[in-house]
Chain A
Amino acid sequence: QSVLSQPISVSETPGQRVTISCSGSNSNVGSNTVSWYQQLPGTAPKLLIYNNDQRPSGVPDRFSGSKSGTSASLAIGGLQSEDEADYYCAAWDDSLNGVGFGGGTRLTVL
């Protein structure tokens, strides 16, 4: 099983806002920064959010991240059909001395 926990799927209609949660522990989310990745079918994960709430250049501000304690969230506003993808959270894990990933959340834009 995955180090971090995410809902398997979420869905929402175009133009609306959706939130994806990521739950961890004190050895990962609780003590290190969280990053989020978007993965389209057949492609490598793409960095969407880093340092909990920072966007790399080129990522629209419709995407935002937050963290509180041992949980983090990714919010996507103004949903578009092209946002349909799998989303993964990740955080350094001190116990593992490596990267822990979530199992992924599939976003469906209805």
Chain B
Amino acid sequence: QVQLVQSGAEVKKPGASVKVSCKTSGYIFTGFFTHWVRQAPGRGPEWLGWVNPKSGDIKYVPKFQGRVTLTWDTSISTAYMELSRLTFDDTAVYYCARDRDDTLDFWGQGTLVTVAS
């Protein structure tokens, strides 16, 4: 069955970086885009970007360009999201999700990133 399993919660100080992993299974990793979405407390989801592991294409939301880095390791079917220069506003649950025909059909369980001094 399709599964996306993310790394555990993180607590970071302002200015630091965080890297979240998303290990996929149950499908061909290179056959689907992987998206990253975050959700701040009490807010709706906010799309961060996507990767196409087959073509190597990556797309970032302009707002996060320069601070977000999306990578992947095809050999272990895992995607990564790194966010740098963290601020308190980056406190959120970060999700990875599989894209099937422009629909995010399967999601990871989420990774809580807390930015605190």
Which residues of A line the B interface, CB within 8 A?
Answer: 2, 32-33, 35, 43-47, 50-51, 56, 88, 90, 92, 96-104
Q: With A51-B103, A102-B44 given, can you name 14 additional A-B contacts, CB distance below 8 Å?
A: A2-B44, A35-B103, A43-B110, A45-B95, A45-B104, A46-B107, A47-B105, A50-B103, A50-B105, A51-B101, A96-B47, A101-B37, A101-B44, A101-B47
Query: What's the least CB distance linking A41 to chain B, in Å?
Result: 11
Q: Check A44 against B103 for contact (C-beta < 8 Å).
A: no
**Contact, CB under 8 Å: B102 / A88:** no
- In the complex the two chains form, is B46's CB within 8 Å of A101's CB? yes
In the complex, chain A residues whose CB is within 8 Å of the CB of B107: 44-46
Residues of B within 8 A of A44 (CB): 95, 107-110
The residues of B that contact A32 with a CB separation of less than 8 Å are: 102
Q: What number of B residues sit within 8 Å (CB to CB) of A?
A: 22
Q: How far is the CA of A45 from the CA of B97 in the complex (A)?
A: 10
**A-B contacts at CB below 8 angstroms, number:** 57
Complex Cα spacing A103 to B43, Å: 7
The residue that B102 contacts in the complex, of A2, A33, A46, A47, with Cβ under 8 A, is: A33
Across the interface, do B44 and A35 meet the contact criterion of CB distance under 8 Å? no
Least CB distance from B103 to A in Å reads 4
Q: Given the complex, which residues of B lie within 8 Å of A103, measured CB to CB?
A: 43-44
Partner of A88, one of B45, B59, B105, B110: B45
Question: B53 at interface (Cβ–Cβ under 8 A)?
Answer: no
What residue in chain A is nearest B62 (Cβ atoms)? A96
When C-beta atoms are compared, the residue in chain B nearest to A97 turns out to be B59
Is the pair A98, B102 in contact by a Cβ cutoff of 8 Å?
A: no
Residues of B within 8 Å of A96, CB to CB, are 47, 61
**C-alpha spacing A44/B106, complex, angstroms:** 9
How far, in angstroms, from A88 to B104 measured CA to CA in the complex? 12
**Cα distance A105–B61 in the bound complex, in angstroms:** 24
A73 to B20, CA, bound (A): 34
List A contacts of B50 (CB < 8 A). 98
